[in-house]
Structure 1
């Protein structure tokens, strides 16, 4: 894993955002009394930068899986905000295709422009925070690797193992809670799986467990994870969701 490459991409995101900030300043001067050509030119400039920003954010998300943890969360937050500002600008662009606009069309443009200006304050803060957090995560990773004289990959692997252990402990604590306070829920979840198996469905989604057991989906999912941890249930991913079956029940 080339951490320096990831750092360069994050730096690129930072530079592009500064470029966007500078270009966006003109939007405030146009907010009350705008010239058609000037507004269209500004929107096209903003959109061109946004396209680059979104591509870079997507690249960071793609690379973030190599690090995982909070870095991946911050990367997805960055991409989400870039998508939102892209949508806001693209909402305005079709409205300024022709200089021949009616009074009502001008009012519509004004309303969309005001929405863009209002959203920008939140967007600018969110992007700045996300980039700072991404940079902080990378710098921390590099610092630790230098201190321990280990390559960043080793540090990431250790961090991921710690995170997995923490998740396992959390799952176990949660499962013990259900066993102690809501043992009937655990029984109902198991029975729901068994019932679906008897109907010919081998791998069962959480929503189907909820349907048959009456146990709310969030709780059912935690119970299933606990049952998997103690070896009662098996789990696999299918179509972006987890599905479960009782261990030893049927073959794939």
Structure 2
């Protein structure tokens, strides 16, 4: 049976609902109801049914994963998408997987997280002045969203940026995919991106003036905290910490 107009199964659900959200908590709740991408819905739910032996007994989240952190954050960290047995299992960004172990340890090391470990939603983790999100909110097969899925999900990130506008001053994007996905969302949220678009690189830094005459946004690039990068040494804890520290200082957090 075709989805009813206005239902979360419609491909225009993010584009319709994100601009109507009047606060970050409202946006987060709407994100969790989204079913706009059939392939991602099927995959996240299949993973939840099949599980993994190491997580026997877990009741998987198996829904879109909203951003995590205060709704008045000065620094936003943008990844790629939830991991199938990480955020898709725990329901919180970068929680329950090795990528999160690296990211939250670095944030803890500079005083922006209450602890270095992130294992489940009730583990006591608190973030200080920083919020973590992604351009795609569902776990994709092989960690590779399609361009259409990326574009369908974009209004959620644009909406999050819009709602954080009064406080956000710096943005760290993890990886080339996230960089390319985030640039159009920044333009939609009021920070025009220059042309030609700035290329992704580890340590890249671009200042984006705001269209409303308010404070600019400092945009930083960083290699993704994937196992491939961290296990091979392409991204070391020191490299990650340096980018996060620079961005935090640009945001006025002064770690």
TM-score, normalised on structure 1?
0.21
TM-score, normalised on structure 2?
0.21
Q: Greater relative contact order: 1 or 2 (C-alpha under 8 angstroms, separation 6 or more)?
A: 2
Q: Mark the structure with the bigger radius of gyration.
A: 1
